[in-house]
Amino acid sequence: MNLLFKPILLLLLLIGIAFSSKAQNYVVKGKVLDTAGLPLPGAVVRISWTTDSLAMSASADGAFNFNKVKSRQFTLSAAFVGFQEFIKQYSITEGTTFTAPDIKLKLIANTLDQVTISGVPPVRVMEDTVSFNAASFPVREGDAVDEILKKLPGIKVDKDGNVTNQGKPVTKIRVNGKDFFGTDVATAIKNLPADIIQNLQIIDDYGEQAKLTGIKTGEPEKVLNLTIQPDKKKGYFARASGGLGNSERYNTSLRANSMKGERMVSFDGTVNNANLRGGGGDGITTRNAGSVNYKNEWNPKVSADGGYNFNNTKNNTVSSAYTQNFLQEFTRFEDSRNDNQSTRFGHDFWGNLELKPDSMNFLKISPNFSYSINEGLYGGVSNIVQQDLVTNRISNNINNDRNLNARTSVFFNHKLAKKGRNFNFSSIGHIFKHIQKCLFG
């Protein structure tokens, strides 16, 4: 019996080890440097084993980190334009994390009569900008910009279209360096088709003053800048979609764009009651929304951009509850029902006018206007039975809330004759008005 038990125990142990090894993920990390010890950002690092492989671009400090390696034995390679490729096999002898010795790439010593670079690096890291080559992150035909963003390292797009970079929100979008769609990043990345984009840039923007003077103060704003392919700057493109579901649910949208050189006009409209972006939450929400955006650069001295957004949401939430409480001397019953209805209308306008009369002067005027109406009708009925006592309660609450917000900023900069000296002026005018009416019953 003992002779039979030992082989079975050994077999079960080996099977357990095999399954444990199969499910194990290993972490492999390190840095790619040149022979002087300087990082090589954007270097392509690949790791491969018998059943699979992974690849990524090194970060700004040359670092790489693979956290889903399935084998203890693997081959690591690193490549960078103008340097000799590195290839070496490694084995993880203990633990689940392996830090590779610094990979130091050597310059190619051969002197060539002519070198033709046919490829473009997928990622370029500059002082305040990380630039991604759109062609290096292919998506399906007909996809919008949001699908490219989902593939970029360090960038996340949530279900509502909000974009974050390294955990910080991207608050503004530009096309060819000019504001477009205002702060509505979610609509912009759904509206613009992916196949017209040449580069996507995440910029740490310190404002107009820093751009003109080079003096950076405060915390930067994360801005997404999209550059359009030169041969795609003329034409029309549009997308329409629609759907029907059970419980009389529907969703329709229309997105259209017109481009001619630096002039660009964009329209986005949606009607739905499917509790999608801008209309989620409890109950049934109906959303009607539309936006028009425009930008143009007539000449190097005059450019403008602006947009108008309309948003109307209606929500109806009906809830009911039945409770029964067993107390020491009696039982308490309560049957309640609530019917809440809310409606919101929102109008938003924004714009920018930039004037550059000469190389020494710059003027930017940025008006913003928003007006919203929030209306709510909240009603409730409850019946309470406690021994021989019956209590009926009826409550109603009507709310009307109106907000007006107008803001205009002016920025002027003049470069003085002495290099590095500037005179600038900025002013902000702000009007805010809030009216609230409530009726309880």
* pLDDT in the model for residue 392: 85
Amino acid at 337: R
Among positive and negative, which fits the CA dihedral 220, 224, 229, 232? negative
Residue stretches of the chain with pLDDT short of 70: 1-23, 109-120, 276-281, 441
Q: Token pair for residue 160? A: 């509502």
Q: Token pair for residue 143? A: 């996809």
- Which candidate, 59, 63, 92, 88, places its Cα nearest to that of 76? 88
CATH no. of 119-229: 2.170.130.10
**How do the domains of the chain map onto residue ranges?**
24-107, 119-229, 233-440
Q: Token pair for residue 301? A: 């001295």
- Which candidate, 364, 261, 368, places its Cα nearest to that of 303? 364
| Rounded distance between C-alpha atoms, residue 182 and residue 348, angstroms | 10
283: buried, middle or exposed (CB in 10 Å: 19+, 13-18, 0-12)?
Answer: middle
Phi, psi (rounded to 5 degrees) for 329: -110, -15
Q: Token pair for residue 295? A: 């930008």
* Residue linked to tokens 């096309």: 175
Return the CATH number of 24-107, one of 3.30.70.100, 2.60.40.1120, 1.10.10.10, 3.40.50.300.
2.60.40.1120
Beta strands 302-326 and 284-299, pairing class? antiparallel
Beta strands 155-157 and 63-69, pairing class? unpaired
* pLDDT in the model for residue 18: 43
- The 3-state secondary structure of the chain, one letter per residue: CHHHHHHHHHHHHHHHHHHHHHHCCEEEEEEEEECCCCECCCCEEEEECCCCEEEEECCCCCEEEEEEECCCEEEEEEECCCECCEEEEEECCCCCEEECCCEEECECCCCCCCCCCCCCCCEEECCCEEEEEHHHCCCCCCCEHHHHHCCCCCEEECCCCCEEECCEEEEEEEECCEECCCCCHHHHHHHCEHHHEEEEEEEEECCHHHHHHCCCCCCCEEEEEEEECHHHCEEEEEEEEEEECCCCCEEEEEEEEEEECCEEEEEEEEEECCCCCCCCCCCEEEEEEEEEEEEEEEECCEEEEEEEEEEEEEEEEEEEEEEEEECCCCEEEEEEEEEEEEEEEEEEEEEEEEEEEECCEEEEEEEEEEEEEEEEEEEEEEEEEECCEEEEEEEEEEEEEEEEEEEEEEEEEEECCCCCCEEEEEEEEEEEEEEEEEEEC
| Rounded distance between C-alpha atoms, residue 166 and residue 146, angstroms | 17
* pLDDT in the model for residue 276: 67
For residue 95, what are the CA distances in angstroms to 21, 25, 334, 395? 12, 11, 60, 64
